[in-house]
Structure 1
Amino acid sequence: MKKVSIVSLLMMLLIPMTAHADWAHVVHPGESYYSIASQYGVNTHQLQSMNNDWSSYLSVGERVQVPVTLNSYEKDLLARLVEAEAKGESYAGKVAVATVVLNRVESNIFPDTLYNVVYDGRQFSPVLNGTINQPAGAESKQAVEEALDYQGYDNGSLYFYNPDKAESAYLASREVTVVIGNEINVK
């Protein structure tokens, strides 16, 4: 029994679970897109794009959607998922996979942390077959960085699949957002 308690404690310490309410910032007096972007370490243009707002005026109490930010553990986890899930895909395909995962973190129909999205049931085969535990290559790590920078500029993809490898009537019925090589991203 003691070992279980120690293991549980270690897992809580080793696996950071960043709590994200809904990736929104409530505007306070005197704040601008620039000041909010600076606070979160993101580009002002990216923040405005995410909110589809090109004005410079914000109202006190307004909710501004902010990009997902990841700590080093979460970046590594996402890079390992990308490496395993998009093996054999182009660099653009790897960015697209990372983008889908980040969109899921922001979506209210999926869990609100990266860890919980990645380990949500049977969503990703690398989690099920253990290949997510293999280290990520430089290209997958760079794809994660690009996906983080790309937030707000994509088409809101929440799923990806390769119709040559998997059939899904559900995914085939969804709105296509982008096609990259053999991979189709959908909303």
Structure 2
Amino acid sequence: MSNPRPDDVLALEPLTAAAFAAFGDVIEPASARQVYAVNDGTAQRFHDLARVDTGTGDGHPLISIFRAEPRTLPMPLRCVERHPLGSQAFVPLSRTPFIVVVTADPHTRPRAFLSQNGQGVNYHRGTWHHPLIALEQVSDFLVIDRGGPGDNCEEVALRHRWMLPGAGELLLPPAA
């Protein structure tokens, strides 16, 4: 692949609840709407971290595990997908970081987020996102999405070839 133009390389932003709010929820203890003791005081419940949306009709929540091969950076982005009938959550089952790429429209510049410390995401219904981008090692993710009738996955090829930077490049500082 030829060298990308600097404008084609996406900066990796830290994954924060505020920065990601337009696209979905960040799943981490800091996002809890309530925290309280459970199991006779031997555990804490970080409550209501994300809204599972199964739409209307015959949809139901599905819980699955995805095992993702690590990607090599730099990496061109070729497609995005969305789920028009319900939300989709990815919770890593390790503390290995992964990259989240989202966009309001598949023909506009996407945003790229780097997860940290076991953070997960819940994409709002209809949010365009790149398929899972695991880093460093084969990684398992708990996935919660919608099952039931209807076509709940739309994919489109990107017209523009956006690039993710090489490891350690272009990470923006946390927003103030």
Higher Rg: 1
Normalising by structure 1, what TM-score? 0.22
Identify, as 1 or 2, the structure richer in strand.
2
Higher relative contact order (CA 8 A, sep 6+): 2
Identify, as 1 or 2, the structure richer in helix.
1
Normalising by structure 2, what TM-score? 0.23
